[in-house]
Amino acid sequence: MMSNIYSVKVDHGVTTTWKFFLSEIKPKGKLLTPFNIISIPIILLGLGIIVIRFWKGLGSVTNLTQEVPWGLWIGFDVVTGVAFAGGAYVICFMVYILNMQKYHSIVRITVLNGFLAYVFYAGALLLDLGRPWNVINPIIGNNFGTSSVLFLVAWHFLLYMIAQLIEFSPAIAEWLGARRAHKILSGMTIAAVIFGITLSILHQSGLGALFLMAKEKIHPLWYSEFIPLLFLVSSIFAGLSMIIFEGSISHKVFFSQISEKNHLAHKSIMHGLSKICTGTLFAYFFLQLLVFIHGKHWNMINSPYGYWFLFEMTGFVLMPMFLYFIGYRKNNILMIRIAAIITMLGVILNRLNVTVIGFRWYDHIRYVPSWMEIVVTLAVIFTEIWVFRWVINRMPVLRESPIWVKKINN
């Protein structure tokens, strides 16, 4: 008799959890929005291309060659995507380490954005691996290649994803109403933040260090022993510009979820970030200048690659720096948003210049990504946005935490 009642209770619990998850999986908004109409076919096409890729090999969908073994999927998806995800460690540093409470309201969305970027862009790495079933080898210890920068980067990706998941986990606990878990997970935040910042410093620079051994293959204007430092510094404004860009969009799209207080804070946050971006862009430009003078590459400026280098430095470093500065001084949000977009284009340009465009610059036959590589890249980005939207619509990322959280904390 007793056991009977017990089992009924359990059944009841399981079915409600099940129902909860089922109802949460269903889409909450309109299905036929312009974004969905564009993204769904591209995601489906991307999936089809991925099937061909695993069935017939990398060569059937990519334009990679024996000379250019890394293309768009590494140069853009992984190297550039991770730079854009740098905002998470910068904001965590500002809020949890420097105690700048002003930015507290954007921590969760930034960490979520960073976490998903790592999951999807590091996930895109699996598509590029020729033998992805061996991807666990460096993790399980089937020979540690500790002299490899890629070994470091791979481990850091994995550990940083865990750190970010811990940083974000209170939001998941609030969504599920798990009060005990919430308390434990919130207590782990500072440790995860400190660990996460350290990991980020090392793997943001590590992505640059990957290319140190390709000394003769990368155009001298983009190759120097300071690539790791340049990658690290540029990840700061890349990440912050991403926050401004993404924040401006989610501010509009998820308008109803944002509280009155945070609406008012939005402008002030953008304003504060523009100041930091101006500073780091200046530091970055100064570093580039030092590297350029130190490398004695004057003679290379008067060549197509030299013009291309100048174009990058003036158009995508100096110009957004001034725009950010003016936007900051005049408190002009539109100017700041334009600066953010130009900065992001500049980071894409810089990463592609190091990894793809400046790679084997002396060859006559150049690597140009195939349309299928581009479609898969777009599919990865769109899928990430889908998951991003799904999480924001369900978990307290932009909206306020439930009342019980405040009760626990007080």
Tell me how far apart the alpha carbons of residues 181 and 165 are, in angstroms, rounded to a whole number: 14
- Of 33, 148, 268, 331, which one interacts with another protein (CB under 8 A)? 148
Strand, coil or helix: 26: coil
Window of 106-114, 193-201, 308-316, 370-378 that interacts with another protein by CB under 8 A: 193-201
The least CB distance from residue 54 to another protein, in Å, is: 6
The least CB distance from residue 60 to another protein, in Å, is: 7
- Of 4, 5, 32, 55, which one interacts with another protein (CB under 8 A)? 55
* Residue 235 contacts another protein per CB under 8 A: no
Name the residue nearer to another protein (CB basis): 215 or 406.
215
- Of 181, 202, 276, 287, which one interacts with another protein (CB under 8 A)? 202
Closest CA to 361 of 349, 369, 373, 353: 353
- Of 9, 12, 19, 56, which one interacts with another protein (CB under 8 A)? 56
Closest CA to 60 of 376, 370, 374, 381: 370
Name the residue nearer to another protein (CB basis): 179 or 297.
297
Q: Return the ∠ at Cα 288 (arms to 364 and 113), rounded to 5°.
A: 90
Name the residue nearer to another protein (CB basis): 4 or 101.
101
Q: In a 10 Å sphere around its CB, with 0-12 CB exposed, 13-18 middle and 19+ buried, how is residue 137 labelled? A: middle
The least CB distance from residue 327 to another protein, in Å, is: 26
β-sheet bridge partners, residue 218: 359
Tell me how far apart the alpha carbons of residues 114 and 92 are, in angstroms, rounded to a whole number: 11
* Residue 145 contacts another protein per CB under 8 A: yes
* Residue 207 contacts another protein per CB under 8 A: no
- Of 64, 127, 233, 340, which one interacts with another protein (CB under 8 A)? 64
What sign results for the dihedral spanned by CA atoms 68, 70, 76, 82?
negative
* Residue 137 contacts another protein per CB under 8 A: yes
- Of 216, 252, 365, 403, which one interacts with another protein (CB under 8 A)? 216
Tell me how far apart the alpha carbons of residues 126 and 157 are, in angstroms, rounded to a whole number: 13
* Residue 213 contacts another protein per CB under 8 A: yes
Residue 241, H or E segment: helix 227-253
Beta carbons within 8 Å of 59's beta carbon, 6+ residues apart: none
* Residue 209 contacts another protein per CB under 8 A: yes
Tell me how far apart the alpha carbons of residues 304 and 299 are, in angstroms, rounded to a whole number: 12
The interface mask with another protein, positions 81-120, x = CB under 8 A, is ------------x--xxxx-x-------------------
* Residue 190 contacts another protein per CB under 8 A: yes
Q: How many residues bind another protein (CB under 8 A)?
A: 61
Maximum Cα interatomic distance, the chain, rounded to a whole number of Å:
91
Q: Note the helical H segments in 258-397.
A: 260-295, 304-313, 319-330, 333-352, 371-394
Per CB under 8 A, contacts with another protein among 320-359 are none
Strand, coil or helix: 219: coil
Name the residue nearer to another protein (CB basis): 176 or 202.
202
- Of 38, 225, 289, 408, which one interacts with another protein (CB under 8 A)? 225
With contact defined as beta carbons under 8 Å apart, do 247 and 109 qualify?
yes
End-to-end, the C-alpha distance of the chain in Å comes to 42
* Residue 259 contacts another protein per CB under 8 A: no
Name the residue nearer to another protein (CB basis): 13 or 59.
59
Structure tokens at 372: 């299928």
Binding region for another protein (CB under 8 A): 54-60, 62, 64-67, 69-70, 93, 96-99, 101, 128-132, 134-135, 137-138, 142-152, 154, 190, 194-195, 197-198, 201-202, 205-206, 209-217, 225, 228
